[in-house]
Structure 1
Amino acid sequence: MKLIAGVDIGNSTTEVAIADIEKELNFLSSSIVRTTGIKGTVENVVGVYNALKEACSNIKVDISQLHAICINEATPVIGDVAMETITQTVITESTMIGHNPDTPGGLGLGIGRTIFIDEIDYVSSTEEVICVIPKSVDFETAARRLNLAFKKGIKVQGAIVQGDDGVLISNRLERKIPIVDEVTHIDRIPMGMVSAVEVAAPGETIKVLSNPYGLATIFNLTPEETKHIIPISRALIGNRSAVVIRTPEGEVKERVIPAGKIILYGTGEKRVAIEEGSEKIIKALKEVWPLKDASGEPGTNVGGMMERVRQVMSELTGQSQGDIKIQDILPVDTFVPQRVQGGLAGEFALENAVALAAMVKTNKLPMENIAAKLQKETGVKVIIGGVEANMAVLGALTTPGTAKPLVILDLGGGSTDSAYINRDGAVKSIHHAGAGEMVTMLINSELGLEDYNLAEEIKKYPMARVESLFNIRYEDGTVCFFQQPLPSNLFARNVVVKGEEMIPIPTRHSLEKIKTIRREAKRKVFITNVIRALEDVAPFNNIRGIEFVVLVGGSALDFEIPEMISDELSRYGIVCGRGNIRGALGPRNAVATGLVISYYNSLRSSKNE
């Protein structure tokens, strides 16, 4: 036997294909493991060795028995280290609570001056007040003192409670008032200030405090002041309860952190403000394409982000920061939770932001270092093969029913690669920043999860609502019943259904909202990149000149991304579907398979010569 191994080092996974080429090309084994380290660095060798070991064990041979190992040219692009959210943060002159507690009490809108419940006996009967109740006062005592105040004619318009006793207090009151509870930092509430408390009926949302003009009416704001409270009203949209308190003038000041401008260098130079959004950035990118480098304004968020990209890559490759060039970026409009200045219960408000994925090109290929280290550890000759996308084309052509000409879209973790092969076998390829890992980042950010692994599960698997201990309703409306009761901690929760496992999603967002965020994240990243890629590789730059597209790579396994891309490309009359590498492996292993085929073809052509 003459065994050849093809190794595809990706952003997320490392894949191996092994074939015997002694007489003819005969594939014997394959494997897949997590990539170790950042793609294109010597840390990848550990993952490569593990993948080779697994593939060899499948056919009961040792790594040392391999004739050669072919690895892909993985170095020119590294997309996963550069994903960072850039936003402009505005802090407004107000304190607010809008955390949607589980147990608000009462109903309606109450406006008055904030006082501690201990001061209630000393309040004038002509003054309207909002009562602040700390945890040290139990619900029965609070209810009794409020009822006494009502009898004395004191105008208690609402209450702010530290504990979760809103309903218990409300049920004992002779007159219903709006009560917001679960206010952790009740000691931060400024006393003697005008405050508004609103609680909506079950199943409804607040209407006055989520309206900037409603807030302007309550607090007698000028048009200029009304502009500043828009972030507050926007943050409260969809809440069942909320409190807004006007702070003493100057206590909380407005502060703006500039997002800055991104500077694109290509056929010309373009400067685009991040606040203008992704559409304007992509338009500017097309005007200077192909991109030679990008940077950001010094002293801004985007400037710091670009420098961090260069610093990380410089440390990993041993090159100077000046030699690190950014060859592509993908901007995506998104929302990020920002902690509210002056908030009393850890409140967050969603703010507009632009997420950026950057693809980095280095001046020299660190693949030579990887090849040298791998050869030393295995004792097997290591060859650096062709460009990823070109190799993926060769692998994709092993899909039954495919033939030249065609386009492959390699949907990976960090980048979206595309290649077009014509009838003569000539290949044109392109790499674009942004893929599966950026989708995960957007989901994690917009849902405020702070749990990358959970965001990854939300991306990859369908969700459901646990309606009872014996049934769930999937996001598409279908119902599934169980003979044994589900764990009680899943009751009335949204869950990710991962095979037999159900993973609870710790967020107050509705199932429909989570589904919308997930699908929008995939659409913004993959549809945008697919169109960009096809415009670059299509004959005469005309997408309608393409007939067949084959999807390969890890993200092609996703349960909805291929259908999204297929629907989009159907508008251009393009036939699109998942690849089935070697008729058995689905969309996986295209590059690794292509590397082996490329080696076999070159060996055969040299013999013929």
Structure 2
Amino acid sequence: MTIVAGVDIGNSTTEVCLARCAHGRPAEFLASGITKTTGIKGTVANLPGILTALGAALRTAGLETADLGEIRINEATPVIGDLAMETITETIITESTMIGHNPSTPGGIGLGVGVTQPFDRLGVIGRGEKVICVIPQGIDYEDAAREINGAVARGVDVQGAVARQDDAVLIANRLTRKVPVIDEVTLIDKVPLGMQAAVEVAEQGQSVRTLSNPYGIATVFGLAADETKLVVPIARALIGNRSAVVVRTPQGDVKARSIPAGVVTVSGIRGKADIDVDAGAARIMEVVERVQPVEDVKGEAGTNVGGMLERVRQVMADLTGQAPGEMKIQDVLGVDTFIPQKVRGGLAGEFALENAVALAAMVKTNRLPMTQIADQLAAKLGTGVVIAGVEAYMAVGGAMTTPGTAKPLAILDMGGGSTDAAIVTRDDKISAIHLAGAGDMVTMLINSELGLGDPDLAENIKKYPLAKVESLFHMRLEDGTVRFFAESLPPEVFARVVILAEGGLTPIPGDYPLDKIRYVRREAKKKVFVANALRALARVAPTGNIRHIDFVVLVGGSALDFEIADMVTDALAEYGIVCGRGNIRGTEGPRNAVATGLVLSYLNGGEA
């Protein structure tokens, strides 16, 4: 009897299956181990994680390292996900052209149009002049309201006000003439004076209509068609805001420039094709599918996409000790997304959502890095280490230990960096595919689209459901149900959207409503997991037709997600496919499929 350890090095986790094996007899499974993968998958930096997971499994089984007869590791293909570009077209606003940071409590309602004038000049402004009053730091709200009321009484047409302090409601409540008032403008000193401006405040629960519409801005300021084109990014940045100010600056202060996204060149067995990233992710993926299997992907030099793909090659070259020219990208997944871009020249941290394309790239290295891992692991433990096989092949063997399964069978292994699919026929023929894009890309999309700047927070948003804390004793879950508490909740979560994480409630910063966060999370999962599931199964289906697959078992860490498996199952139900989460060895759920398959490959003479 030999103690065999199967070690699956994944992008997110490293998993171990420990079993007592003898040829001609079923494996006696002893224990499992799991830990976070150290370093980028497929590099020698994985060793600490392997040793940790292996040590945990040995302790559970009551064994020592010396008891190990053989360690079998998978052929790990590194996958690096990155944004191919910051934006497809970046529009830069110079000088002070707009304010629209959506303060929580603006005052008044309506649209006011006039010339920006400083607060201290209200007393000398002539009768009938249309004015937007700019109230600086340090002016008391009662003094501000008194001066505005006095100007109105003298015949000055005060159309609205912009304030530095959080006083909009207090000022508006004291005005004899109700006008829109916006506060919390951080850079009040940079508001251009003597310029035509428009101030708009919407009813509670609504958003501005005129200033979020480029034609509305054009109407207010009398813009020509060419000038209207320049205000499009301003209007887009104000969509969804309850309040906004737009200031028309002198000609030449508003400039726009486009940064080229670049051209992607995809080379494959069926040919070679160029596609401009401006065309979007759908066109990129059409080209990838047309020329697949992909042999390499390159980006145009001097462009955003070219820089991203070369950075991926360089990172892998540095980690593996190979020349960058030897790094081949064997698959990419493109997804259309949005990125909040700071509007330069804004006065209160304004952002505009810009179109972008996210790319996950799979780098194909030679066998050298895995050989290095095997050699160093063997030297450390004094045990034979074998590079046993491709992940998807091994995952089939592990998935077959799920109760109720039989050949023919397809598996979807959804991990952190890649989505693998394989199908085994009744006569044990296996075909497999290894595609870029999985959980890490979903996290990246959530992080970028919500502008979080915190990958750990984005990861938790991906993994757990949401709720809105409506009082210190109850919250409304994202499915609409209400949960009550006998003891009061922490005050810092009151009126906040929170993540229902295992360790407690995690408040999400910012003002995004629950429905918006949920929508971004679910769309990111659909764009990556559902799209890749259909793409992968079409590649391995015997005739290229998904409808000819009867059973699919979902394995991998992402299959544990509270909604991904249901999304994929729903998508495959349209094709008449029976699909569900695996339960490896009847005990492990969808995890440990590859590690278990590696152990079984020992009994099968190296084949899953």
Superposition TM-score tier, normalisation by shorter sequence? over 0.9
Confirm or deny that 1:13 pairs with 2:13: yes
Find the aligned partners of 1:268 and 1:226 in 2 and give their Cα distance.
43
Letter matched to residue 65 of structure 2: I
Report the AA paired with residue 20 of structure 1.
R
- Please state if 1:304 is matched with 2:301: no
Distance 1:186 1:250 in 2: 22
Secondary structure in structure 1 of the residue aligned to 2:5: strand
Q: Where do residues 556-571 of structure 1 align in structure 2 (5 Å cutoff)?
A: 556-571=559-574
Deviations 1:15-40 (A, max 9, x none): 00000114641000001100000000
Q: Deviations over 1:39-76 (max 9, x none)?
A: 000000010001111111112222222111111000xx
Which residue of structure 1 lines up, in the alignment, with residue 90 of structure 2?
89
- C-alpha distance in structure 2 between counterparts of 1:537 and 1:262, whole Å: 26
Matches within 5 A, 1:529-548: 529-548=532-551
Within-5 A mapping of 1:396-475: 396-475=399-478
> What corresponds to 1:393 in structure 2?
396
1:293 to 292, 296, 302: 296
Q: Deviations over 1:581-604 (max 9, x none)?
A: 000100000000000000122189
Q: Secondary structure at the match of 1:90?
A: coil
The corresponding residue for 1:108 is 110
User: Which secondary structure does the structure 2 equivalent of 1:43 belong to?
Assistant: helix
1: CA distance, partners of 2:564 / 2:85: 23
Q: Which amino acid aligns with 2:68?
A: L
- Aligned length, in residue pairs: 603
- 1:480 correspondence with 2:489: no
Q: Deviations over 1:479-537 (max 9, x none)?
A: 11110011111111111112461111112111111111111000000111111101110
- Using the TM superposition, name which of 78-87 and 244-253 deviates more: 78-87
Alignment partners' CA distance in 2, 1:538 and 1:604: 21
Say if 1:11 and 1:80, in contact at 8 Å, map to a contact too. no
* Match of residue 3 from structure 2: 3
Q: Which amino acid aligns with 2:91?
A: V
Q: Give the superposed CA RMSD.
A: 1.5
Higher mean alpha-carbon deviation, 571-580 vs 182-191, is at 182-191
Any unmatched runs of 5+ in structure 2?
A: none
Please tell me the residue identity of whatever aligns with 1:151: A
Q: 1:550 to 1:596 in 2, by over 3 A?
A: same
Alignment CA distance shift 1:82-1:237 (3 Å): closer
Counterparts of 1:514-525 in structure 2 under 5 Å? 514-525=517-528
Query: Would you say 1:495 and 2:498 are equivalent positions?
Result: yes
Residue identity (%): 59
Secondary structure in 1 aligned to 2:179?
coil
Task: Please state if 1:578 is matched with 2:554.
Answer: no
Post-superposition Cα deviations, 1:405-435, rounded to whole Å, max 9, x if no partner, equal 1100000000000001111111100011000
Does residue 80 (structure 1) correspond to residue 80 (structure 2)? The answer is yes
Read off the aligned partner of 2:357 and give its amino acid letter: V
Residue type of the alignment partner of 2:484? F
Q: Residues 371, 110 of structure 1: CA spacing in aligned structure 2 closer, same or farther, 3 A cutoff? A: same
State the distance in 2 between where 1:532 and 1:602 align: 31
Q: Which residue of 1 aligns with 2:351?
A: 348
Contact 1:83 1:438 in 2 (8 A): no
AA matched with 1:7: V
Shift of residue 138 of structure 1?
2.1
Moved segments of 4+, more than 6 Å: none
The CA deviation at 1:363 is 3.3
Structure 2 residue 265 is matched with structure 1 residue 281: no
* Deviation for aligned residue 1:364: 3.9
Contact residue 341 and residue 351 of structure 2 kept, 8 A: yes
Structure 1 residue 217 corresponds to structure 2 residue 219: yes
The CA deviation string for residues 143-183 of structure 1, in whole angstroms up to 9 with x for no partner, is 22112211211111111111111111112222111111111
Q: Is residue 379 of structure 1 aligned with residue 387 of structure 2?
A: no
Report what 1:370 is aligned to: 373
> For residues 222 and 367 of structure 1, what CA distance do their matches in structure 2 show?
63
**Aligned partner (choices 235, 238, 253) of residue 237 of structure 2:** 235
Deviations 1:445-486 (A, max 9, x none): 111111111111111111111111111111111111110011
* Cα deviation 1:120-156 (Å, max 9, x = unaligned): 1121222211111111212222122112211211111
**Cα distance change on mapping 1:404 and 1:567 into 2, 3 Å:** same
State how far apart, in whole Å, the 2-side matches of 1:138 and 1:230 are. Answer: 36
Q: Corresponding residue for 1:272? A: 275
TM-score by length of 2: 0.97
Give the CA deviation at 1:307.
Answer: 1.0
Contact 2:395-2:413 at 8 Å conserved across structures: yes
Q: Secondary structure of 1:292's partner?
A: strand
Shift of 1:365: 3.2
Q: CA deviation at 1:398?
A: 0.2
**What is the alpha-carbon distance in structure 2 between the residues aligned to residue 567 and residue 186 of structure 1?**
52
Contact 1:333 1:354 in 2 (8 A): yes
Give 1:252-267 correspondences, 5 Å limit. Answer: 252-266=254-268, 267=270
In the aligned structure 1, how far is the partner of 2:565 from the partner of 2:325?
39
Question: Who is 1:61 aligned against?
Answer: 63
TM norm structure 1: 0.97
CA distance in 1, matches of 2:32, 2:521: 31
Counterparts of 2:349 and 2:66 in 1: how far apart (Å)?
Answer: 58
Q: Quick one: structure 1 residues 446 and 81, their matched pair in 2 at CA, closer, same or farther if it must change by over 3 Å?
A: closer
Give the whole-Å Cα distance in 2 for the aligned partners of 1:66 and 1:175. Answer: 85
1:234-259 Cα shifts (integer Å, max 9, x gaps): 22121110111112222342121111
- C-alpha distance in structure 2 between counterparts of 1:18 and 1:551, whole Å: 22
Residues 470 and 482 of structure 1 are in contact (CA less than 8 Å); yes or no, is this contact kept in structure 2? yes
TM-superposed CA distance for 1:367, in Å, is 0.1
Superposed displacement of residue 341, structure 1: 1.7
1:38 counterpart (37, 40, 55):
40
Asked if the contact 2:551–2:579 (Cα under 8 Å) also holds between the matched residues in 1, the reply is: yes
For 2:3, the aligned partner's letter is L
Q: 1:168 to 1:443 in 2, by over 3 A?
A: same
C-alpha distance in 2 between matches for 1:83 and 1:146? 50
Pick closer, same or farther for the CA change 1:461–1:154 going to 2, 3 Å. same
For the pair 1:588 / 2:591, whether they are aligned, the reply is yes
Q: CA deviation at 1:84?
A: 4.3
Instruction: Name the counterpart of 1:124.
Output: 126
Return the alpha-carbon distance in structure 2 between the equivalents of residues 604 and 482 of structure 1.
54
2:222 and 2:124 map into 1 onto residues whose CA distance is: 27
Alignment check: 8 A CA contact 2:237 2:350 kept: no
CA contact (8 A) 2:81 2:359 kept: no
Aligned residue for 1:516, secondary structure, equals helix
Q: What is the rounded CA distance, in whole Å, between the counterparts of 1:321 and 1:54 in structure 2?
A: 37
Q: Write the distance in 1 (CA, Å) between the matches of 2:253 and 2:235.
A: 20
Q: Deviations over 1:254-293 (max 9, x none)?
A: 1211111111111222111111111111111122111111
The separation in 2 between residues aligned to 1:468 and 1:532, in whole angstroms, is 45
Alpha-carbon contact 1:104-1:179 (below 8 Å) kept: yes
Counterpart residue type for residue 588 of structure 1 = R
C-alpha offsets along residues 324-349 of structure 1, whole Å, 9 cap, x if unaligned? 11110000011100000211011111
Residue of structure 2 equivalent to 1:148: 150
Amino acid paired to 1:486:
L
Structure 1 partner of 2:317: 314
For residues 258 and 382 of structure 1, the distance between their equivalents in structure 2, rounded to whole angstroms, comes to: 48
